[in-house]
Structure 1
Amino acid sequence: GATGQVRVHRPAKARAHVRATGSDVKAGDRALSAGTVLGPPQIALLAAIGRGTVRVRPRPRVVVMSTGSELVQPDEQLSYGQIYDSNSFALTAAARDAGAIAYRVGAVADDADTLRTTIEDQLVRADLMVTTGGVSVGAYDVVKEALSHVGDEDEAGGGVEFRKLAMQPGKPQGFGTVGPDHIPLLALPGNPVSSYVSFELFVRPVIRALMGLDDVRRPTARATLAADGPLGSPKGRRQFLRGRYLDGEVTPVGGAGSHLIAALAQADALIVIPEDTESVEPGAEVEVVLLG
């Protein structure tokens, strides 16, 4: 073999470049706590300590379905009396943002049998179902009609219940379970802002709870209202107005209308006006739900 000489210019310190047993994690130490989200570093740690498998809560699978014969998919041609379906896209994105695996079902026509069949077909890939539209008191409230008889009347405790909540937007809501496995279903109103606000208040916490997280709700803050005039609110209903929050101040954007998507797209907070408050003056302190 080859021969040669090595000249060493400084002494090697004792134990230099030696990794001591237990310098990273000692036997008996808690490596990861229950509820930890497993990202790349956490998976590396599990592998490094020799754990090939670990018990986890999987990300919930959420099926999002919009209803309404008036709904048309984006890029298609609108006819008179039709609108583009924005809810299914918004809520699928919101479910992913909350941490779920989300499946979007395009708009289902206002036919109870079709809707019932579609829901039953989707149950195989759902840990949670979310519908929008068809839950108020009109002639075409097909979700209410379809879900009154879907799937699991034979099973004790099944079915979906519809209520009017003391809030604006988002008064009509439905909740229950469907199918033989009692998959939870939340039936949200169809107006775009109503459906999104309802998702933030009701669906997102469910998704986060299914993931085993402690912080299931959006953070809230107190903020000074920066508005041109007083904000009115219907008596007996908790109102959620859209706003922009910055440095302890919140500025309303758009009006209270449940169709104002452009204003919603500019908002990063919800301004909460309590049930017993009918007017809030500029400069008053209000509660805000931070969406960002």
Structure 2
Amino acid sequence: RGHVRARGSDVAAGELALAAGTILGPPQIGLLAAIGRATVTVRPRPRVVVMSTGSELVQPGVALGPGEIHDSNSFALTACARDAGAIAYRVAAVEDDADTLRSTLEDQLVRADAVVTSGGVSVGAYDVVKETLSGLAGEEGSVSFRRLAMQPGKPQGFGLVGPDRVPLLALPGNPVSSYVSFELFVRPAIRALMGLDPIDRVTVRAVCADAVASSPQGRRQYLRGRYEDGTVTVVGGAGSHLVKALADANALIVVPEETTAVEAGTEVDVVLLD
């Protein structure tokens, strides 16, 4: 009798076993089985397909030719989607050809709860994403493209594609622009689909140690920064191609639309990235 466990000593009748919103890992699944729950209602991890577009893109590890650059966006955005909690699938870079883009998209929709593209959404001669997806109609879906009052990341696209109306988010092609756009728009969507909090990255107030000489009037600027103990320093310049500065940053410094310059010592909003 001394080695008999008391009934209800693990989970008593009427006691909450798992709260809504709990992520189900091995111990939680074991608990559900132990209390006799054969099924529970869950929000599955969304499957996110990530693809870069651009005939100039070359896989890392391959030597560059004239006018070529390595595809960094698809790798970074796939990592972003996984970090947000999604199951992410990276697709090799798609060349600037409307038929190729359409066929690739059709092939990928069977495994996608959402699609994220980068590149081809501005006003250039080879902005194939905008040109191709703007023409969708009926069962093909509908994608709208806008120019937002922000820097980086001004050109953006969003819509529903395919007969199942899969959400598609079309991000700009510059590496920093695509990353910032993901953090502001795609990450919250993934987190909302999963019912996870917080949906957005945490924003805090911090003292900016550096002066910002100029910020575009009427556009909200997101500068790369390094945050520590209530102070943030500017990392690199504002160029949307400066990936090294992005890799060194752990925060985004927010300069409001009406602010064209920031003095050193000014308190600013800072979006924490880690």
Q: TM-score range by the shorter chain?
A: over 0.9
CA-to-partner distance for each residue in 1:160-206, whole Å, 9 max, x for gaps? Answer: 00000000000000000000000000000000000000000000011
Output aligned runs, 1:165-176, within 5 Å: 165-176=148-159
Distance 2:269 2:2 in 1: 57
Pair 1:219 & 2:205 matched: no
SS at match of 1:232: coil
CA shift, 1:23, in A, is: 2.3
Match of 2:169 in 1: 186
SS at match of 2:138: coil
Structure 1 vs Structure 2: percent identity of aligned residues?
A: 76
Number of equivalent positions: 274
Pair 1:204 & 2:204 matched: no
Match of 2:97 in 1: 111
SS at match of 2:159: strand
> Rg bigger for which structure?
1
CA shift, 1:139, in A, is: 1.0
Structure-2-length-normalised TM-score: 0.97
Distance 1:245 1:189 in 2: 26
Pair 1:51 & 2:37 matched: yes
Kindly report the root-mean-square deviation, in angstroms, between the aligned alpha carbons of the 2 structures. 1.4
SS at match of 1:195: helix
Name which of structure 1's ranges 173-182 and 43-52 shifts more when overlaid on structure 2: 43-52
Does structure 1 retain, via aligned residues, the 8 Å contact 2:134–2:145? no
Name which of structure 1's ranges 185-194 and 214-223 shifts more when overlaid on structure 2: 214-223
Residues 285 and 16 (structure 1), Cα distance of their counterparts in 2 relative to 1, 3 Å cut: farther
Distance 2:14 2:236 in 1: 57
Pair 1:282 & 2:264 matched: yes
Match of 2:134 in 1: 148
SS at match of 2:101: helix
Structure-1-length-normalised TM-score: 0.91
CA-to-partner distance for each residue in 1:182-235, whole Å, 9 max, x for gaps? Answer: 0000000000000000000000011111112231111111101011x3342101
CA-to-partner distance for each residue in 1:9-61, whole Å, 9 max, x for gaps? Answer: xxxxxx85543222221222221122111122212211221223222111000
Distance 2:263 2:213 in 1: 7
Match of 2:243 in 1: 261
Distance 2:265 2:3 in 1: 62
Pair 1:136 & 2:118 matched: no
Letter in 2 for 1:86: S
CA shift, 1:97, in A, is: 0.6
Distance 1:154 1:261 in 2: 39
Match of 1:9 in 2: none
Match of 1:21 in 2: 7
Match of 1:246 in 2: 228
Does structure 1 retain, via aligned residues, the 8 Å contact 2:48–2:112? yes
SS at match of 2:43: coil
Letter in 2 for 1:291: L
Pair 1:122 & 2:105 matched: no
Output aligned runs, 1:82-97, within 5 Å: 82-97=68-83
Distance 1:76 1:208 in 2: 35
Match of 1:33 in 2: 19
Distance 1:165 1:279 in 2: 20
Distance 1:167 1:263 in 2: 19
Pair 1:160 & 2:136 matched: no
Name which of structure 1's ranges 39-48 and 122-131 shifts more when overlaid on structure 2: 39-48
Structure 1 gaps, min length 5? 1-14
Distance 2:212 2:200 in 1: 28
